[in-house]
């Protein structure tokens, strides 16, 4: 029985075999098909199974997909207030009510947010305020942002159909009679998922969903959620919000809560999202994804202590949650408790997370926890595991740090050089290399390196401050003053910068 075989393949997640068997079934001439309960039923079944198999092959949970392009950010007409009150918006960095670490202790991303322990799609870039600034923001390999989200990460799923079927897509969407399928609820849902995930054709998916929800007399929450998803992709957040809310009225589902919260986050209303998550937690106590959502919001709002609390809650529910462990670990690391961070990272290692980043973190923790014997072997493994040049650069950068720590400046110099060989955009390495050059007395080289660093990463205060000091030493007070001002802009609370500025002002007053 080929259909049963296909179904069994599907259950065992062997989707390619399943799709192949279904294709064979569908290619058989109609006369051979054994009439079951009705003619064509088996064909429909095989068709539906194949769509599901193809969808599962490329399925990515929509909740985790998030990429905001420049165009969306600029033409964002949903902004509620241009100037948000502190603590109610994600747009303004540094609005945390205390508890946030200073950039001197914990490095920040371009938008001025402390870096998190776990790389998520939306944690990287910030929101530039104008188109001009967005275009001028230096682009490095790690922060490059697509012009619109339609050209970003969605490309990959979109091309799946071409890869899997060299002789044309399985379903020709333009010839599909959506109305006909919308009236067959048993086929429509599989078809929708296929269009949405596999073909990535949001407009057709939306058409189908709209017809189907009408056919279901607006009583099927699932279709509402799907319409909401489509609206979200199309950037119609208010409409998406309506659909999700209406779906929630019919049936409480965890996914719906997550989608709605995502909409609120995109509308820059983190407080509403927080409330929603809490409401969801009342309905589904102990749901890990909801708690984790709260923690992420707190983290983005610079409220690290609350975030850590919620991450701990996550671990109480699910002590194998990688993201929570990593975030708590990095939090401990940056609050001067490398020993505790080390324990979290070792837990990750126990759980089978085996990659370059982890060993990189382990190495650093070992170093700061004064377990020097483990440090170098960790970095050795990290180098061994590095998959691309960016990762290798990270490891060499950290090794350079260790070398500075043990006073081997020659080694440090070589490490930073190697970092730059691997990743030419590594602003931190440029900065540190400049400091080393400064010590050697090569002022001009140091200046060139610092200028490179500051143009690569204008959000970092260190290169500006170093330029200021350097210029002040050689007597170029004017340049020193401008650099110090930039440094103050990047990190207003930096005491050394303030002192330098004060000193310079006195100088100018004397003149």
Partner 1 sequence: GRDLICIQSMDGMLMLFEQESYAFGRFLPGFLLPGPLAYSSRTDSFITVSSCQQVESYKYQVLAFATDADERQDTEQQKLSSGKRLVVDWILNIGEQALDICIVSFNQGASSVFVLGERNFFCLKDNGQIRFMKKLDYSPSCFIPYCSVQEGTVNTLIANHSKILNVYQDVTLKWATQLPCIPVSVKVANFQDLKGVIVTLSDDGHLQCSYLGTDPSLFQAPKVDSREINYEEMNAEMKELQKIIREATKTQDILPESEKQRDITVIAEVSADLDKESQAIDSEVKAGAVPSVTVKITIQSRVTAQKPSLAVCVQAPLAVTCDQFVFDDLEPDSSETVVLSVFLKENCSPPELEGTCMVSYNTPTELNPEGIPRVSQCSFSLPLKLVCFPAQPSKAANHKLTIDTNKPPISFVTIFPDFVDPSEGDQANALGFQFLTGSKATLLASKTSQRYRIQSDQLEDLWLVTKELIYRLEEHFKKQNCKDFACTFSGSIPLQEYFELIDRHFELRLNAEKYQELLSERAVQFRAIERRLLTRFKDKTPAPLQHLDTLLEGTFREVSAV
- Interface with partner 1 by CB under 8 A: which residues? 1, 3-4, 7, 11-13, 36-38, 41-42, 44-45, 48-49, 52, 61, 74-75, 77, 130-132, 185-187, 189-190, 220-222, 225, 236, 251-255, 258, 284-289, 316-320, 349-352, 354, 377, 380-381, 384, 414
CA angle 254, 256, 260 (to 5 degrees): 120
Tokens at 67, concatenated: 């990429």
Q: Shortest gap between Cβ of 497 and partner 1 (angstroms)?
A: 31
Residue 298 contacts by C-beta under 8 Å, 6 or more apart in sequence?
Answer: 304, 306, 307, 310
Q: Shortest gap between Cβ of 381 and partner 1 (angstroms)?
A: 6
Phi/psi of residue 485, each to 5°?
A: -65, -40
Our CB check for partner 1 shows the closer of 345 and 461 to be 345
- In terms of C-beta density within 10 A (0-12 exposed, 13-18 middle, 19 or more buried), how is residue 400 classed? buried
Our CB check for partner 1 shows the closer of 37 and 83 to be 37
Cβ atoms within 10 Å of 49's Cβ, excluding its own: 21
What is the DSSP secondary structure assignment for residue 58, as one 8-state letter? T
Our CB check for partner 1 shows the closer of 83 and 511 to be 83
What three-state secondary structure class fits 85?
Answer: coil
Our CB check for partner 1 shows the closer of 46 and 457 to be 46
Q: Shortest gap between Cβ of 299 and partner 1 (angstroms)?
A: 19
Q: Shortest gap between Cβ of 494 and partner 1 (angstroms)?
A: 32
Dist CA 186 CA 181 (whole Å): 9
Cβ atoms within 10 Å of 294's Cβ, excluding its own: 25
Our CB check for partner 1 shows the closer of 417 and 479 to be 417
Dist CA 149 CA 156 (whole Å): 12
Our CB check for partner 1 shows the closer of 13 and 312 to be 13
Dist CA 451 CA 466 (whole Å): 10
Our CB check for partner 1 shows the closer of 74 and 477 to be 74
Our CB check for partner 1 shows the closer of 8 and 485 to be 8
Q: 200-213 burial, b if ≥16 CB within 10 A, otherwise e?
A: bbbebbbbbbbbbb
Dist CA 453 CA 122 (whole Å): 24
- Distance from the Cα of residue 70 to its chain's centroid: 16
Dist CA 135 CA 131 (whole Å): 6
Tokens at 418, concatenated: 């190697």
Our CB check for partner 1 shows the closer of 60 and 155 to be 60
Q: Shortest gap between Cβ of 52 and partner 1 (angstroms)?
A: 7
Q: Shortest gap between Cβ of 63 and partner 1 (angstroms)?
A: 9
- What's the longest Cα–Cα distance across the chain? 101
Alpha helices (H) along 111-164:
131-136, 155-158, 160-164
Q: Shortest gap between Cβ of 185 and partner 1 (angstroms)?
A: 5
Tokens 């017809």 map to which residue?
A: 211
Cβ atoms within 10 Å of 182's Cβ, excluding its own: 23
Q: Shortest gap between Cβ of 168 and partner 1 (angstroms)?
A: 25
Dist CA 211 CA 31 (whole Å): 33
114 pairs with which residues across the strands? 108
Dist CA 144 CA 149 (whole Å): 12
Q: Shortest gap between Cβ of 352 and partner 1 (angstroms)?
A: 4
Cβ atoms within 10 Å of 255's Cβ, excluding its own: 16
Q: Shortest gap between Cβ of 414 and partner 1 (angstroms)?
A: 7
Q: Shortest gap between Cβ of 221 and partner 1 (angstroms)?
A: 6
Our CB check for partner 1 shows the closer of 133 and 478 to be 133
Phi/psi of residue 317, each to 5°?
A: -80, -40
Our CB check for partner 1 shows the closer of 319 and 499 to be 319
Tokens 């407080």 map to which residue?
A: 271
- In terms of C-beta density within 10 A (0-12 exposed, 13-18 middle, 19 or more buried), how is residue 437 classed? buried
Q: Shortest gap between Cβ of 418 and partner 1 (angstroms)?
A: 11
Q: Shortest gap between Cβ of 354 and partner 1 (angstroms)?
A: 6
Tokens at 347, concatenated: 């837990």
Our CB check for partner 1 shows the closer of 75 and 162 to be 75
């Amino acid at each position: 029985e080929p259909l049963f075989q296909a179904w069994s393949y599907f259950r065992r997640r062997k989707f390619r075999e399943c799709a192949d068997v279904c294709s064979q079934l569908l290619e058989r001439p109609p006369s051979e098909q054994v009439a079951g309960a009705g003619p064509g039923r088996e064909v429909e079944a095989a068709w539906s199974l194949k769509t599901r198999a193809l969808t599962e092959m490329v399925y990515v949970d929509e909740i985790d997909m998030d990429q905001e392009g420049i165009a969306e950010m600029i033409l964002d007409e949903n902004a509620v207030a241009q100037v948000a009150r502190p603590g109610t918006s994600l747009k303004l960095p540094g609005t945390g009510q205390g508890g946030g670490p200073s950039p001197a202790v914990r490095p920040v991303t371009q938008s001025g947010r402390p870096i998190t322990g776990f790389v998520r799609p939306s944690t990287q870039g910030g929101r530039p305020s104008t188109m001009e600034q967005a275009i001028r923001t230096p682009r490095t390999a790690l922060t490059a942002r697509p012009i619109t989200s339609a050209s970003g990460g969605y490309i990959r799923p979109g091309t799946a159909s071409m890869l899997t079927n060299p002789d044309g897509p399985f379903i020709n969407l333009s010839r599909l009679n959506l109305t006909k399928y919308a009236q067959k609820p048993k086929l429509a849902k599989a078809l929708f998922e296929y269009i949405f995930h596999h073909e990535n054709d949001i407009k057709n998916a939306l058409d189908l969903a709209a017809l189907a929800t009408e056919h279901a007399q607006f009583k099927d929450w699932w279709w509402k959620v799907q319409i909401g998803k489509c609206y979200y992709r199309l950037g119609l957040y208010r409409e998406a919000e309506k659909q999700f809310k209406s779906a929630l009225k019919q049936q409480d589902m965890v996914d719906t809560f997550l989608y709605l919260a995502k909409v609120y986050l995109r509308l820059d209303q983190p407080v509403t999202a927080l409330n929603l998550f809490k409401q969801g937690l009342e309905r589904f106590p102990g749901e890990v994804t909801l708690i984790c959502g709260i923690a992420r919001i707190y983290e983005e709002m610079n409220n690290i202590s609350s975030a850590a609390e919620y991450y701990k809650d996550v671990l109480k529910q699910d002590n194998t949650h990688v993201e929570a462990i990593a975030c708590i670990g990095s939090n401990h690391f940056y609050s001067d408790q490398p020993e505790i961070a080390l324990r979290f990272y070792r837990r990750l290692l126990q759980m089978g997370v085996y990659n370059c980043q982890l060993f990189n973190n382990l190495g650093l923790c070992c170093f700061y926890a004064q377990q020097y014997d483990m440090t170098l072997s960790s970095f050795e493994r990290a180098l061994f595991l590095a998959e691309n040049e960016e990762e290798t650069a990270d490891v060499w950068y950290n090794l350079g740090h260790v070398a500075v720590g043990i006073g081997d400046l020659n080694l440090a110099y070589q490490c930073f050089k190697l970092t730059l060989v691997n990743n030419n955009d590594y602003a931190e390495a440029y900065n540190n290399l400049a400091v080393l050059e400064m010590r050697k007395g090569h002022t001009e080289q140091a200046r060139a390196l610092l200028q490179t660093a500051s143009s690569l990463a204008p959000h970092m205060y260190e290169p500006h401050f170093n330029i200021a000091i350097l210029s002040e030493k050689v007597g170029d007070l004017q340049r020193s003053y401008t650099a110090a001002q930039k440094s103050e802009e990047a990190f207003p609370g930096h005491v050394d910068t303030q002192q330098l500025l004060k000193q310079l002002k006195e100088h100018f007053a004397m003149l």
